[in-house]
């Protein structure tokens, strides 16, 4: 679809918002209700696929059943020339994945507030018997006021329709997939709770708990490995809040929260002072792991077997008098004792080797504490004390060094202490004006700074480019208190053109002046439209222009002959006193204007040439006047066709 195309005789496409696995989402304008909406359009290559069409309809059905302030509303569903579409509420903002990337670390009260909104939406879905099955930050939208809305019920399923789940088919994003889904089992409400726990983990740490080279390797980790501790990343996270993550992501669905409301209630008090000394949550039931007996227990069991053997021999038939058999029975217990001794020694040696062997400390410098924990665990080591210090060379939350250092030996199950960077303490501010905001902000955040942006429209500066910064070049800034603010270009502003039909030319001129548009007029005799009122316009109503573009209108006249002529006016730039910009106003006199009516108001930063159109009646002469920074600098009269 291209900008300007209309779907369903009602929704005009503005631009693409993104593309997913089965559909493309566009920003559109509802011409009937005069509001912006998002339109999800089934991809052309999938419109004949019955499974995809079924999922698309299921999403629409699921979403229309739900009425919650934190779920994206569905307004309309239809089909246009074989293309299936769904019209939804437009949320101006970003998804939670991008929000985490841009704003991490997020204050803990804000994390709790975000999760409570997400839980509220999921609770509503569960109350209607709908399991989302693909909960992830990419499907959660957040606006400028931190309001949350969940979208994309493309693989949601009603609890009464479990047959739609196919065994051995992994649906949803693997980083947030529950262990039972990874095994190909039917998704339940507890599967959504597991995904919610992973989302909370990412809000607290900025990363997902499991990474891997393939989707299969990540899925395996979900039901084989324990969730890493969030307090390893940030020791300020209360144990009560970490416990919410641990319980929500328990391997067995039966160990998780019974429902979403229970999780929300636990989360809402996790920052309370009376839970400050809460112990770490553990699974209470028998985990079914293999039990290892000590050497003493094994020796005891063998000795008991010896005594039973001896008792059996003494109870043998008294009539048996054969000497040799008795001799063999007499020495059998001693033989078994020897075997037991060998076993005890072997087990003791093996136990000693496993418990006291030395391993080489792996290189984890430059890694995050979570990554280091995984690498160390593979060598049978654990993370010890974490010391956080400033560093100009190592990015924030990355390891500077270890104790003992790399390649040293450490006893198995021993601890390795980490020195972790908190970023630079102080830095001399550079001049970032003209640089790309996203690369600059990423670099500064790695150093530990809090970075914020304010977007403003600009006709001359590319989108995403820094226009202004709150600290000047050379200013010393500190990570422990200074926030760096950037004013960033949002690119050219799209100016929506209204319907000027039957409007007086003065209304059109005022709109053009306010939005810095070039206005061109032409006339046409009309018996139905009043003189100097608009018959037609280019572009049409609802379309958009940018500053400096031309708006053309055709005006009605009473039949008097007129003609249009254009002149070029060269406006010099005044740079005295270090001026960077000049404000210029142009006044014209023709059939539609007089010299008291402002024709155009522009801002220039260099010598500029503009075209000025004059509509003149027979025998009429035009005139113009140019005002720069409040002073008239040029004028012209006796302008004819």
Residues with a known catalytic role:
134
Contact indicator for 468, 433 with CB cutoff of 8 Å:
yes
Order of strands across the sheet that contains 622-628? 598-604, 582-589, 622-628, 631-639
| Alpha-carbon separation of residue 95 from 16, 140, 337, 425, 469 (angstroms) | 15, 6, 70, 31, 26
Block residue for tokens 């328990």: 250
H-assigned helices in 315-393: 323-356, 369-378
Q: Look at residues 88, 95, 77, 86 and name the one whose alpha carbon lies nearest to residue 23.
A: 86
Q: For residue 541, what are its two tokens? A: 């109503």
CA distance 75 to 28: 13
Q: For residue 436, what are its two tokens? A: 């790309």
- At residue 409, φ and ψ (nearest 5 deg) are -105, 145
CA distance 74 to 60: 7
Block residue for tokens 């390893």: 232
Total residue length of the chain: 641
Q: Percentage helix, strand, coil, to 5, in the chain?
A: 30, 30, 40
Q: What is the dihedral of CA 483, 487, 488, 489, to 10 degrees?
A: 170
CA distance 406 to 242: 30
CB-based burial label for 51 (10 Å; 0-12, 13-18, 19+)? exposed
The contacts of residue 178 (CB under 8 Å, 6+ apart) are 187, 190, 191, 194, 195, 222, 253
CA distance 478 to 240: 32
> Furthest-apart CA pair in the chain: how many Å?
153
Contact indicator for 41, 85 with CB cutoff of 8 Å:
yes
The contacts of residue 135 (CB under 8 Å, 6+ apart) are 122, 150, 172, 176, 192, 195, 196, 199
């Amino acid at each position: 679809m291209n900008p300007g195309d209309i779907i369903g005789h009602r929704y005009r496409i503005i631009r693409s918002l993104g593309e997913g696995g089965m559909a493309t989402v566009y920003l559109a304008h509802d011409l009937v209700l005069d509001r912006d909406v998002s339109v999800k359009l089934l991809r052309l290559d999938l419109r004949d696929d019955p499974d995809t069409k079924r999922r698309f309809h299921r999403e629409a059905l699921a979403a229309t059943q739900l009425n919650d302030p934190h779920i994206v509303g569905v307004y309309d569903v239809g089909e246009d020339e074989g293309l299936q579409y769904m019209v939804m509420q437009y949320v101006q903002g970003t998804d939670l994945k991008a929000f985490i990337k841009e704003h991490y670390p997020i204050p803990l009260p804000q994390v709790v507030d975000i999760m409570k909104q997400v839980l509220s939406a999921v609770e509503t879905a569960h109350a209607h018997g709908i399991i989302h099955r693909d909960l992830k930050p990419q499907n959660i939208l957040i606006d400028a006021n931190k309001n949350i809305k969940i979208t994309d019920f493309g693989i949601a399923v009603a609890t009464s329709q479990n047959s739609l789940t196919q065994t051995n088919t992994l649906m949803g994003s693997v980083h947030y997939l529950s262990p039972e889904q990874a095994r190909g089992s039917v998704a339940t409400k507890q599967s959504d709770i597991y995904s919610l726990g992973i989302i909370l983990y990412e809000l607290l740490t900025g990363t997902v708990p499991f990474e891997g080279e393939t989707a299969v390797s990540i899925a395996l980790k979900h039901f084989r490995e324990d969730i890493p501790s969030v307090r390893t990343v940030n020791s300020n996270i209360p144990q009560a809040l970490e416990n919410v993550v641990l319980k929500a992501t328990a391997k067995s669905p039966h160990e998780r929260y019974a429902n979403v409301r229970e999780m929300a209630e636990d989360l809402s008090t996790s920052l309370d002072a009376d839970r400050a000394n809460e112990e770490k949550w553990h699974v209470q039931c028998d985990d079914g792991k293999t039990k290892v007996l000590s050497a003493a227990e094994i020796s005891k069991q063998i000795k008991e077997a010896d005594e039973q053997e001896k008792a059996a021999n003494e109870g043998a038939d008294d009539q048996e008098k054969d000497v040799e058999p008795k001799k063999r029975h007499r020495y059998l217990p001693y033989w078994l004792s020897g075997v037991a001794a060998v076993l005890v020694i072997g087990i003791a040696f093996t136990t000693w080797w496993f418990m006291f062997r030395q391993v080489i400390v792996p290189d984890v410098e430059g890694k995050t504490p979570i990554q280091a924990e995984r690498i160390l665990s593979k060598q049978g080591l654990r993370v010890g004390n974490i010391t956080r210090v400033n560093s100009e060379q190592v990015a924030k939350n990355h390891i500077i060094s270890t104790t003992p250092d790399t390649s040293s030996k450490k006893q198995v199950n021993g601890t390795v202490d980490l020195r972790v960077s908190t970023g630079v303490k102080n830095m001399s501010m550079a001049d970032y004006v003209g640089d790309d905001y996203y690369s600059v902000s990423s670099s500064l955040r790695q150093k530990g700074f809090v970075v914020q942006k304010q977007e403003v429209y600009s006709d001359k500066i590319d989108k995403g480019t820094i226009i202004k910064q709150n600290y000047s070049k050379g200013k010393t800034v500190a990570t422990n208190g200074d926030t760096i603010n950037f004013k960033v270009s949002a690119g050219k502003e799209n100016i929506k053109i209204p319907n000027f039909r039957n409007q007086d030319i003065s209304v059109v001129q005022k709109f053009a002046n306010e939005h810095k548009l070039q206005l061109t007029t032409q006339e046409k005799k009309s018996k139905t439209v009043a003189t100097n009122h608009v018959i037609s316009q280019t572009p049409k109503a609802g379309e958009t222009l940018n500053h400096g573009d031309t708006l053309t209108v055709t005006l009605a006249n009473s039949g008097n002959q007129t003609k249009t002529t254009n002149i070029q006016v060269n406006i010099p730039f005044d740079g005295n006193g270090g001026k960077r910009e000049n404000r210029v106003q142009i006044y014209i006199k023709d059939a539609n204007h007089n010299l008291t009516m402002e024709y155009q108001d522009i801002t220039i930063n260099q010598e500029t040439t503009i075209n000025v159109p004059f509509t003149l009646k027979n025998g009429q002469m035009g005139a113009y006047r140019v005002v720069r920074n409040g002073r008239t600098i040029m004028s012209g009269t006796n302008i004819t066709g």
